Structure 1
Amino acid sequence: MRRPHSRLLAPATALLLATACGVEHADTGASVPVPRATVTDPPVDGVRITSVTVPTVSPTPSVTPDGVHADRLPGDSGISAAYQVSNDGDRALTYTVLFDFTTDTGAVMANRKVTVRGVGPGRSTSGTVALGALAPGASPVTRVKVAEVTRVPADEAPSEAGACPSSGVRLWADDGDAAMGLRVVGLHLENCGKRDYALDGYPRLSLLDDDLAPVDGIRVLHGGAAVATGTGLDVPPAPLVLRPGETALSGLVWRNTTLAGTAVNVPYVRVLAKPGAAPVTVTPNLDLGTTGKLGVGAWRRADR
């Protein structure tokens, strides 16, 4: 049961690019200029789209100066958007951005997630996100918008792949599962270093708001049974040692029940694998409702 992501597909502050930023057509192998209007919509948490490319249905391959044809791959829509990420904060941040590819009416046909690492304070960086293949039968995509942005300190960004962090371990959260208001998100830890890594007990958690400030009033309880039975997070804590290449699992469990009071949403969780470990900030987007509690499982060795 996969955690639903309707919030990722819901309309957000849209940058209506087809009319606001101009469209580059690839039917002649060169850009066809379109008048550009001023973009009135503000960036979404420091991320804005600067242009969008929507080729015609049957584009003519472009030719490079050396005579090589720059054909698109079979099935590639050729649709892409250029974006800019600007950090107006006082520390380096890593951004994860969800881009929605939509029709003229705003219906989302696909989305793509991009991680932009280590944008320094006061700095900007640019990039391009491509749609790739569009699902058969999908309506034409003409616009791209920033649907969601998360930002974590660059030195606390989760790392599922790539170079091993200086701590010698990777830690990240998965997309999670959901059913009937129950949420379960896995925490994964891999020893990617060259030395054994010892664990004993539960991850240490700090709940953070949109500004990465502490969220008070939520009880963090040990074990899944504190929230619901059958979550798989009730294994008693026990010492374990991960050899290089081995992994461990924990997890977060909560309900989004809303009764009397104000619902609480916690976008970020700072995780310490154990006391003294390097912090990693993950983005499980805890929709805690009015329950006021979050369960966390003990570290256990991952099944091979």
Structure 2
Amino acid sequence: MNIRRIAPLPLLAGLLLSGCAAPGTSPETGRSTPARPAPSQSVTRTADPVARCIDGLMISIGGQDAASGLRAVGIELRNCGGKPYQIKGYPVLKVLDEDRKPLELRVLHGVGEVTVLPPWQVEPKQVTIAPGASATALLVWRNLTTDSETVAIGEFLRVAAADGLPEHLLALHVDAGNTGKVAISPWVSEP
């Protein structure tokens, strides 16, 4: 499959048009849902997670969508350096709880085990990111809960562009229920 552009926002807009609710709204009513609780106040916090340029790369959260238990979030890798950057493969990520401790969730390579979004059923390819340009990956999971004792809720992600590269701390609510997994697509280029 030859992919020229796969951006999370058009994909997410398509999900919304298919009857999905926007983040922060109930799929049944379209009304606002209560805000999620703030992280524990008993924990000493480091600086708030914001996108930063580290070694010429910046990772940030893109568009988000929540639909009937399926969650989809774009992750953007921007070249904030002065020379082209090459990458192949999947982002390396960990889901962290409100105290920034890793959750026991499997991170699957490829989104096929969680959803059948055709534009994201791709194999890793070499991507060259020019200065100022970006690549994108899609993080997906399902909020399914059959046992309220083993619910996994994350509030942060640690994401690296690839193994051995610096990790970026990002704020993201990940309500994976007790599925025990999230899935990530490989990096794909944007024009």
Please indicate the TM-score interval, normalised by the length of the shorter structure.
0.7 to 0.9
* Native 8 Å contact 1:199 1:241 kept in 2: yes
| Structure-2 change in CA distance of 1:214 and 1:229 (3 Å) | same
Are 1:183 and 2:71 an aligned pair? yes
Equivalent position of 1:249 in the other structure: 136
Q: Which residue of the partner structure matches residue 158 of structure 1?
A: 51
CA distance in 2, matches of 1:11, 1:192: 33
Q: Structure 2 stretches of 5 or more lacking a match?
A: 1-15, 27-31
Give yes or no for the alignment of 1:195 onto 2:83.
yes
Change (3 A) 1:224 1:3: farther
The change in CA–CA distance for 1:10 and 1:239 in structure 2 (over 3 A counts) is: same
Pairing partner for 1:280 from 133, 147, 168:
168
Tell me whether 1:4 sits opposite 2:4 in the alignment. Answer: no
Q: How does 1:13-92 map to 2 (within 5 A)?
A: 89=44, 92=46
Conserved in 1, the CA contact under 8 Å of 2:40 and 2:99? no
When residues 185 and 3 of structure 1 are mapped into structure 2, their CA distance, relative to the original with a 3 A threshold, is: farther
Alignment of 1:203-214 (within 5 A): 203-214=91-102
Read off the aligned partner of 1:274 and give its amino acid letter: A
| Structure label with greater radius of gyration | 1
Letter in 2 for 1:257: L
2-structure distance, mates of 1:299, 1:224: 12
Q: Aligned to 1:236, what secondary structure does the other structure show?
A: coil
Alpha-carbon distance in 2 for matches of 1:267, 1:173? 13
Among 73, 80, 93, the residue aligned to 2:47: 93
**Cα offsets for 1:18-74 (capped at 9, x unmatched):** xxxxxxxxxxxxxxxxxxxxxxxxx9866xxxxxxxxxxxxxxxxxxxxxxxxxxxx
Q: Give the TM-score normalised by the residue count of structure 1.
A: 0.49
* Equivalent pair of 1:263/1:288 in contact (CA under 8 Å): yes
Asked if the contact 2:111–2:140 (Cα under 8 Å) also holds between the matched residues in 1, the reply is yes
Q: Please list the CA deviations of residues 239-289 of structure 1 after superposition, one character each: whole Å capped at 9, or x if unmatched.
A: 122111211000110110111352211111100101222211222211111
Distance 1:187 1:11 in 2: 22
**Partner AA of 1:4 in structure 2:** P
**Higher relative contact order (CA closer than 8 Å, sequence separation 6+):** 2
- Tell me which of 218, 235, 238 is aligned to 2:122: 235
SS in 1 for 2:82: coil
1:125-164 to structure 2, matched below 5 A, reads 152=49, 157-159=50-52
Distance 2:157 2:174 in 1: 9
* SS of residue paired to 2:112: helix
Gaps of at least 5 residues in structure 1 are 14-42, 47-86, 95-151, 160-164
What amino acid sits opposite 2:34 in the alignment? A
* Amino acid paired to 1:250: A
Distance 1:193 1:256 in 2: 37
Q: CA RMSD of the aligned region, Å? A: 2.7
Judge conservation of contact 1:233–1:296 (CA < 8 Å) in 2.
no
Q: Secondary structure at the match of 1:177?
A: strand
Structure 1 residues 92, 44: closer, same or farther in 2, change over 3 A?
A: closer
Distance 2:112 2:36 in 1: 36
User: What amino acid does structure 2 have at the position aligned with 1:195?
Assistant: K
Question: Residue by residue, what CA displacement relative to the aligned partner does 1:179-203 show, whole Å, maximum 9, x if unpaired?
Answer: 2111100000111210111111000
Identity rate, percent: 31
Give CA-to-partner distance per residue, 1:205-247, whole Å, 9 cap, x none.
112111111112x211111111010163221001122111211
